A = this chain, B = another copy of it.
Amino acid sequence: MKTDKQELEFTEMARFAKAMSHPIRLQILNLLSKSDCCYTGDITDELPIARSTLSQHFKELKAAGLIQGEYNPPKIKYCLQSDNWEKAKKLFTEFFENSNKSSCC
């Protein structure tokens, strides 16, 4: 029952999951998803983490396609990348929804 399509989906979903596998990155995504767009600095003030480290987390979220940045000198406005965000939402939601409640253990 393992189709190529499904295999690609798992690969993409794993990529999203990896991006979400760090508390700080989840906080960032949560902040971006709940409020409007925000600046990196806004988050730096709330987290006990070096700016360079935070920048790396942004970079990873960007590499995974979950966020995007808009240069608004001298700041950068980060937002969710809607398309991929919706894609991730769909992948995770369906992944959990399709689960069978029947357990044999």
Which of B21, B77, B92 is close to A105, meaning CB atoms less than 8 Å apart?
A: B77
Best-surrounded residue of A17, A34, A46, A102 (most CB of chain B within 10 A): A17
Question: Is A98 an interface residue when CB atoms closer than 8 A count as contact?
Answer: yes
Identical copies of this chain, number: 2
Please give me the residue from chain B that is nearest to A38 by CB atom. Answer: B104
Does A52 interact with chain B (Cβ within 8 Å)? no
- B104, A99: Cβ atoms under 8 Å? no
Q: Chain A interface (Cβ within 8 Å of chain B)?
A: 2, 6-7, 10-11, 13-14, 17-18, 20-23, 25-27, 29-30, 33-37, 46, 68, 70, 77, 79-80, 82, 85, 88-89, 92-93, 95-96, 98-100, 102-105
